[in-house]
């Protein structure tokens, strides 16, 4: 499960390039390297589950409506999810992204509408998928959502 993220505020014109690059490193580059390190062994063993935590703010279907650096890097993790899932279709390795919703965490804050348990429910489901489970999808509340 790839769950590290930073949330830098600002639209495209106001977010600093250093903040944008930090977001890219944490939200995209770190999961990329972790998958590159672990997925080959999963493929070799013909079993594995990769769950990338994304966000509705990273969905083109929702208009990338969050702060620019966060939205762009979450869209990138969604693209990486789809690309990797297509590269390993002949295996029992499942690769999916999910949006936990607005969760009461340090990032989400006390005013968030969902408990950590509610946010984790889809993560657990995707991490424990049966062999006939989905791969290459974007989920919220165990339901496929648009990219």
Q: Is residue 3 part of a domain?
A: no
pLDDT at 110: 80
Paired strand residues for 2: 52
- Among 20, 57, 70, 138, the active-site one is 70
Q: Report, as an integer, the average pLDDT of 3-28.
A: 94
Q: Is residue 105 part of a domain?
A: yes
**Structural domain of residue 99, as residue ranges?**
17-144
Mean pLDDT (the chain, rounded): 93
pLDDT at 59: 96
CA 70 to CA 65: how far, in whole Å?
A: 10
Q: Is residue 67 part of a domain?
A: yes
Respond yes or no: is residue 47 known to be catalytic.
no
- Residue from 30, 108, 31, 20 nearest 71 by CA: 20
Q: Is residue 93 part of a domain?
A: yes
Q: Is residue 35 part of a domain?
A: yes
pLDDT, tens digit, 9 for 90 and up, residues 64-109? 999 999 999 999 999 999 999 999 998 999 999 999 877 657 777 6
Q: Is residue 85 part of a domain?
A: yes
User: What is the domain-level CATH number for residue 35?
Assistant: 3.40.50.720
Using the predicted structure, report yes or no on whether residue 15 has a pLDDT greater than 80. Answer: yes
Q: Is residue 134 part of a domain?
A: yes
In the chain, the number of structural domains is: 1
Using the predicted structure, report yes or no on whether residue 2 has a pLDDT greater than 90. Answer: no
Q: Is residue 10 part of a domain?
A: no
- Put simply, whether the predicted model's pTM sits higher than 0.75 gets the answer yes
Paired strand residues for 49: 94
What number of CA atoms fall less than 13 Å from residue 62's CA on the CB side? 18
């Amino acid at each position: 499960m790839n769950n590290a993220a930073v949330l830098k505020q600002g639209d495209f014109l106001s977010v600093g390039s250093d903040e944008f690059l930090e977001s890219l490193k944490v939200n995209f580059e770190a999961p990329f390297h972790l998958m590159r390190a672990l997925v080959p062994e999963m493929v070799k063993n013909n079993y594995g589950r990769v769950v990338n935590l994304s966000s509705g703010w990273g969905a083109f279907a929702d208009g990338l409506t969050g702060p620019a650096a966060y939205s762009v890097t979450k869209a990138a993790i969604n693209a990486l999810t789809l690309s990797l899932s297509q590269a390993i279709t002949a295996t029992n390795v499942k690769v999916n992204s999910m949006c936990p919703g607005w969760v009461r965490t340090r990032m989400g804050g006390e005013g968030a509408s969902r408990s950590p348990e509610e946010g984790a429910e889809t993560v657990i489901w995707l991490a424990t998928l049966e062999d006939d489970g989905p791969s290459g999808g974007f989920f919220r509340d165990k339901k496929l959502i648009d990219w």
